[in-house]
Structure 1
Amino acid sequence: MGSWTVDGPRRITLDEPVTRLDVRLVSGRLNVVGTDGPARVDVTRISRRPLVVELRDGHLSIRHEPFPRWPGVLWWLGQLRRRFRAEVSVAVPAQALADLHLVDGALVASGLRRDTRVDVTSGQVTLMGLRGRTSAKVVSGPVEALGIGGDLDLETVSGELILADSAPERVRAHAISGSITCDLDNPRGSEIRLSAISGSITVRVREDSDLSVHLHTTSGRITSGFPQICGGQHGFGAVKDSHGVLGAGAGKLWASATSGSIALLARPVTDADDLEDLP
């Protein structure tokens, strides 16, 4: 067990095992990576307010102290942002649980193998090589997820959601004002649900994918690179639906857009894809 108050650039190497990480920062940059080595905390930049780092019974906590419950008017004037800014990199065991909160800034999480939860008010989120259950919620800003497996839950109020080079078992992505772009490996047995209120949805899957597909838009258009996906129209043309089965239809893809178009694109199968499918 240990506790540190950090008011300047510093590296803390932790000899005790870490099973859970909890980070709450106001402003700045946060980089969290799963590693096989000992846990460590690197603070490369910090403004007026110090950080408190604590390790108790495997629970590693990093936070601004005191953490403001609501930024208020001073925040939007830039005062709190300058006082609470920090740039922090954290390495923890890949099996550690992670709960990451940032009010304003950029957050990167990579290499974690269990549950990862990300909550950012305003900023950019990048997720790379995560497994287990992953959830990311952003009020204003984009989320980019690369090489994700397991369960993935993405949500933004205003921003773009991007998922690429991934074959997760379950995906739920929801954007209120923003687009959704997915470039998926063959999602056999996967369940993929995409929804956008005001924004477009673009999905690209391999030509040999096994998917049962259901696409719906209220006031947009549906285009498909697969002849198996046929379209329908109801009423006076305001509601459009397309559905069909690709391959064996083992996986499921639902995409729904209220005010926006949906595009389902076919990606040619390459030799590298064939090698990845080998047991």
Structure 2
Amino acid sequence: MAGWTVETPQRLTLDGPVTRLDVRLVSGRLNVVAADGPARIDITEVGRRPVLIDHSDGRLSIRQERDWGWPNFLRGLRAIHRFPRVDVSVAVPADVLADLGLGAGSVVVSGLRRQTTVDLAAGQITLMGLRGTTSAKITSGPVEALGVRGDLTLETVSGEVILADSAAERVRAQTVSGAITCDLDNPRRSDIRLATISGSITVRVREDSDLSVRLNTAAGRITSGFPQVRSSTYPLPSSEGVLGSGAGKLWASATSGSIALLARAVDDDSEELP
């Protein structure tokens, strides 16, 4: 077992494999990237409290010195400015299991391909090029997923959800107060479910998509760029239809907000994602 107490900016290169990454930080910035070679940690900013790093049996743990107790800490977010800020970048193998928690700040994760979980109270989450199973939850702030495949769950209480260049097989995106914007790359055989209570939903799919579509809103307007998706106003505004073979599913629901389904032209020289 190897351990470090980091009180000043420092770079570390780890000996031995890393199969699991657990991070619990109070506030600041966290960047996790998939990279070849040994795992590396770059801490460029440390607050008043040291960062503890442990590496044992393939598990890499990075956390604040004091155990705040996650539920108690979340209730104290009004005083977040009192806590130290850190800036941590971690390079790990692409197949690592990542469980990342941050109280306030920003989290960026890219290139992982197995299982990634991100939990952030306030700030911003950015996910890029992930595979496997991905789950991101944020209480206050936006979550953005770019080029993500596999099984994707995005949740925010107060904030926007943005999903772009995605061919994810399963998508669950949910907001309480915030818009959902999706640009889907030929989501054949996908199961896509989008829901917001107070916010709008905008979805753009390719003209040659194969989707069974169902759109519902309690108090809002539904527009569609596909003539196959037909509207009804009774008992509530809704639209249904089948695009192509209908192999995939697209379901979108808004309680108070509008829904727009847009058509994206298929480029003659476009290529399928591998």
CA distance in 1, matches of 2:93, 2:124: 24
Q: What letter matches 1:240 in structure 2?
A: P
- Alignment CA distance shift 1:88-1:190 (3 Å): same
- Alignment CA distance shift 1:195-1:75 (3 Å): closer
TM-score for both structures, normalised by structure 1: 0.95
Partner of 2:263: 266
Question: Which whole-Å deviations, capped at 9, do the CAs of 1:51-73 have from their partners, x for residues lacking one?
Answer: 00000100000000113122488
CA distance in 2, matches of 1:115, 1:272: 33
CA distance in 1, matches of 2:74, 2:165: 40
Partner of 2:233: 233
Partner of 1:276: 272
CA distance in 2, matches of 1:72, 1:264: 37
Q: Is the 8 A contact 2:74 2:103 kept in 1?
A: no
Q: What letter matches 2:233 in structure 1?
A: Q
Question: Which whole-Å deviations, capped at 9, do the CAs of 1:102-145 have from their partners, x for residues lacking one?
Answer: 00000000000000000000000000000000000000000010
Partner of 1:251: 248
Secondary structure (helix, strand or coil) at the match of 1:137 reads strand
Gaps of 5+ in 1: none
- Alignment CA distance shift 1:45-1:147 (3 Å): same
Question: Which whole-Å deviations, capped at 9, do the CAs of 1:147-177 have from their partners, x for residues lacking one?
Answer: 0000000000000000000100000000000
Give the % identical residues. 66
- Alignment CA distance shift 1:74-1:185 (3 Å): closer
- Alignment CA distance shift 1:150-1:78 (3 Å): closer
- Offset of residue 20 of structure 1: 0.2
Q: Structure 1 residue runs of 4+, over 4 Å off?
A: 72-75
Partner of 1:131: 131
CA distance in 2, matches of 1:258, 1:131: 31
Secondary structure (helix, strand or coil) at the match of 1:113 reads coil
Partner of 1:185: 185
- Offset of residue 33 of structure 1: 0.5
CA distance in 1, matches of 2:247, 2:13: 46
Gaps of 5+ in 2: none
Partner of 2:50: 50
- Offset of residue 75 of structure 1: 5.2
Partner of 1:118: 118
Q: Is the 8 A contact 1:71 1:80 kept in 2?
A: no
- Offset of residue 232 of structure 1: 1.0
Q: What letter matches 1:172 in structure 2?
A: R
- Offset of residue 234 of structure 1: 1.5
- Offset of residue 77 of structure 1: 3.9
Q: What letter matches 1:76 in structure 2?
A: R
CA distance in 2, matches of 1:74, 1:189: 43
CA distance in 2, matches of 1:271, 1:93: 36
- Alignment CA distance shift 1:7-1:254 (3 Å): same
CA distance in 2, matches of 1:74, 1:209: 46
- Alignment CA distance shift 1:39-1:272 (3 Å): farther
Q: What letter matches 2:9 in structure 1?
A: P
Q: CA RMSD in A?
A: 1.4
- Alignment CA distance shift 1:260-1:2 (3 Å): same
Q: What letter matches 1:259 in structure 2?
A: S
Q: Is the 8 A contact 2:30 2:89 kept in 1?
A: yes
- Alignment CA distance shift 1:272-1:3 (3 Å): farther
- Offset of residue 219 of structure 1: 0.3
Q: Is the 8 A contact 2:74 2:121 kept in 1?
A: no
Partner of 1:63: 63
Q: Is the 8 A contact 2:167 2:184 kept in 1?
A: yes
Q: Is the 8 A contact 2:164 2:183 kept in 1?
A: yes
Secondary structure (helix, strand or coil) at the match of 1:218 reads strand
Q: What letter matches 1:265 in structure 2?
A: L
Of 59, 75, 78, the match for 1:76: 78
CA distance in 2, matches of 1:266, 1:199: 21
Q: Is the 8 A contact 1:143 1:160 kept in 2?
A: yes
